[in-house]
């Protein structure tokens, strides 16, 4: 219970311990703590930045999507236009082609008519000759003659 | 009856006697002062060395990344001390925080020895021929005074270093009454004021722990066996509080005193 030399022994021990703590323990642990603090602060800032960037890129993606949609609409529109244009063109072509074909057909008809007319005329000629022959063969009977001629005419007219 | 009373006295006395180490030369020169309390020296050194070794191991493996559970725990302790120092001490002195940490953990551990059953170590060591053993170093005045006197030396050192010898002398002479002609009264008051710091630090810690120890000894003396738990258990729980509080008070007051030493009033 009395003070004795232990006092100085303890003071030496105490001084040693404080020195050891100050030299080897305190700065190292505190450095770890402050370093981690800095790390956490940096990490939080990075997270914040990442969040912001994500927002930006989402915005950008939305814009791009809009643009792409508009472009697609444009393309479809243009395609429609082109399609109608092509259709129109085709129709026009078809019409001219049809017209020409009609024209050709008409020409052909005219030609055929001509041919038929010529054939008829030849037939008529032949019939006239035939009639004349018959008339000449038979006696002159005007009434018969007249009847024959009208028959002939009727024949010619009917065949036309 | 009288022999029982003697036994009791002997028991108490035995528990309050330090293990002495004597040397004829020292005893001749210094008398009673030339004795070393081996138990105080050994237990306190072992405890301090143990905790500092633990800290050192952790410091070597300390990482700024994800800390281990132990590192986390130690960091809480360090940050607690750092916070106390930052709040109280406004100067810039790299010694204060490590000093406060050392004081806190060392006193805490030495106080904790109070919770070990009081007869355990004296009996165990008695079987190998150690006649006396006190397990709680802070119940030895030498231990508490060693710390408080060291702190006192630091107080004086930093007072002189920060304010100059003249400034410090002025402070001693002109407080608490700020008149030159009052200096003869101021000086003894100041000296008492300064000396009260280490004395109160040491005696407060010693008194609390010593009285706690004495009560444990008295409880151990009760002849009815179950009273050991009925009395010892609540006292031990109450004592856990005292252990922490006393370590904390010593630490905080050390910081405060050193802070005062750095600032002029």
pTM: 0.75
What percent of chain B clears pLDDT 90, i.e. is strictly above it? 54
Q: Which of B16, B35, B150 sits opposite A15 (nearest CB)?
A: B150
Give contacts of A28 with chain B, Cβ < 8 Å. Answer: 59-60, 62
Q: Is the CB of B33 less than 8 angstroms away from the CB of A29?
A: no
Q: Which of A10, A15, A18 is nearest to B55 (CA)?
A: A18
d(CA B109, CA B105) in angstroms, rounded, equals: 6
Q: Do A22 and B62 touch (CB under 8 A)?
A: no
Determine how β-strand B20-21 pairs with β-strand B36-37: antiparallel
Q: So what's the pLDDT on residue B119?
A: 87
Please give the residue range of the domain that contains residue B139.
3-261
User: Mean pLDDT score of chain B, rounded to an integer?
Assistant: 90
> What pLDDT score was predicted for residue A129?
83
For residue B48, the Cα-to-chain-centroid distance in whole angstroms is 12
Query: What was the pLDDT predicted at B3?
Result: 62
**pLDDT tens across B210-235, in order?**
999 999 998 988 888 888 889 989 99
Residues of A in contact with B108 (CB under 8 A): none
Which residues from A are below 8 Å from B when comparing CB atoms?
1-11, 13-15, 17-18, 20-22, 24-26, 28-33, 35-36, 38-39
Write down the ipTM of this complex.
0.90
Distance from CA of A71 to the nearest CA of B (A): 51
Residue B161 to residue B164: CA distance in whole angstroms: 5
Encode B124-133: b = buried (16+ Cβ within 10 Å), e = exposed.
ebeeeeeebb
Residue A159 has pLDDT above 80, yes or no: no
Number of domains in chain B: 1
A10 contacts in B (CB within 8 Å)? 40-41, 44, 142-143, 146-147
- The residue with tokens 């602060």 is A41
Taking an 8 Å cut-off on Cβ atoms, the answer to whether A10 and B44 are in contact is: yes
Quickly state the pLDDT bin for B1 (edges 50, 70, 90): very low
């Amino acid at each position: 219970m009395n003070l004795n030399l232990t006092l100085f022994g303890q003071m030496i021990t105490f001084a040693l311990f404080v020195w050891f703590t100050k030299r080897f323990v305190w700065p190292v642990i505190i450095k770890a703590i402050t370093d981690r603090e800095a790390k956490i602060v940096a990490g939080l800032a990075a997270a914040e930045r990442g969040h912001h960037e994500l927002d930006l890129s989402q915005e950008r993606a939305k814009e791009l999507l809009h643009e792409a949609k508009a472009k697609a609409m444009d393309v479809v529109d243009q395609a429609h236009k082109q399609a109608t244009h092509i259709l129109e063109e085709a129709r026009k072509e078809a019409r001219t082609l049809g017209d020409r074909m009609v024209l050709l057909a008409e020409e052909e008809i005219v030609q055929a008519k001509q041919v038929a007319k010529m054939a008829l005329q030849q037939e008529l000629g032949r019939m006239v000759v035939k009639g004349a022959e018959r008339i000449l063969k038979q006696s002159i009977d005007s009434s018969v003659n007249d009847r024959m001629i009208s028959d002939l005419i009727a024949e010619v007219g009917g065949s036309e | 009856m009288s022999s029982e009373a003697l036994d009791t006295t002997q028991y108490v006395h035995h528990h309050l006697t330090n293990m002495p180490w004597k040397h004829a030369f020292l005893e001749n020169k210094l008398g009673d002062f030339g004795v070393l309390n081996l138990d105080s020296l050994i237990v306190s050194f072992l405890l301090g060395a143990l905790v500092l070794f633990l800290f050192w191991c952790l410091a070597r493996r300390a990482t700024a990344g994800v800390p281990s559970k132990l590192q986390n725990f130690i960091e809480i302790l360090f940050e607690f001390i750092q916070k106390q120092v930052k709040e109280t001490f406004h100067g810039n002195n790299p010694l204060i925080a490590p000093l406060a940490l050392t004081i806190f953990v060392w006193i805490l551990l030495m106080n904790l020895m109070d919770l070990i059953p009081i007869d355990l170590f004296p009996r165990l060591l008695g079987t190998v021929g150690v006649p006396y053993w006190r397990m709680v170093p802070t119940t030895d005045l030498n231990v508490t005074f060693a710390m408080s006197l060291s702190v006192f030396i630091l107080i004086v050192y930093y007072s002189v270093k920060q304010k100059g010898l003249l400034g410090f002398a002025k402070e001693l002479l002109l407080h608490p009454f700020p008149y030159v002609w009052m200096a003869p009264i101021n000086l003894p008051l100041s000296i008492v004021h300064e000396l009260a710091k280490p004395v109160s630090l040491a005696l407060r810690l010693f008194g609390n722990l010593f009285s706690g120890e004495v009560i444990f000894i008295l409880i151990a003396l009760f002849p009815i066996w179950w009273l050991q738990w009925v009395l010892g258990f609540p006292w031990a729980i109450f004592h856990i509080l005292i252990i922490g509080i006393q370590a904390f008070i010593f630490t905080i007051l050390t910081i405060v005193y050193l802070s005062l030493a750095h600032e002029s009033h």
